[in-house]
Amino acid sequence: MMALGLESSAPNFKALTTNGPIDFYDWLGDSWGLLFSHPEDYTPVCTTELGAVAQLEKEFSDRNVKAIALSVDSLESHNGWKLEIEKSMNVKIGFPIIADEDAKIAQLYGMIHKYSSDTHTIRSVFIIGADKKIKLHLTYPMSVGRNFDEILRVIDALQLSSQHQVVTPANWKQGDDVIVDPSLSNEEAEKLYPYKVPKKAEYLRFTPNPSAD
């Protein structure tokens, strides 16, 4: 199977989860999606990651993003582990965890890398737009926990670029200036966004964040 590229359609699937059976597309509705895999239940790094997402659930909800986790463990295992995470990290997990025991969804999304493990999913992250297209794909090794503040930052940047003809510079965060989309001519850009450029780099057309209040 070819790797899923950016702007390709996110494969739909049916699955059993800790919140009941779902059809992925129906479950997403008109929301964005954060689909992320973890190697195994009852492991320390994964526990901190699911706890971190639970702590940030309002942040995701405010951005119209639904989070959903996956591993190749059973539903029974997920349900028991979920209770442990909630107690140990003092959180409430509202998002579903997919039980993918036959690894069909993991294979569909390329979440198992044979040189890392033949059976366990690596730490994949897929950001899926409301149009069901893949907007971002990140891959972390099993030994490194993800930075979900960075994932929120990227979602902010993706949603901004989907609504306005702007792109975001290095280390951008919500509220910072952005850059006018390079595909716009100067004449087009001037009609849409007030911008200024540094000396000797006229293509760096910085403009205030158009979504700012």
Which residues, listed in sequence order, are joined to residue 67 by a DSSP beta bridge? 34
- The question of whether 46 is a catalytic residue gets the answer yes
Catalytic residue among 10, 15, 34, 46: 46
Q: How far apart are the first and last CA of the chain?
A: 45
Q: Rounded to whole angstroms, how far apart are CA atoms 196 and 68?
A: 41
Cβ neighbors of 62 (< 8 A, separation 6 or more) are: none
User: Which contiguous run of DSSP H or E holds residue 203?
Assistant: none
Positions marked active-site:
46
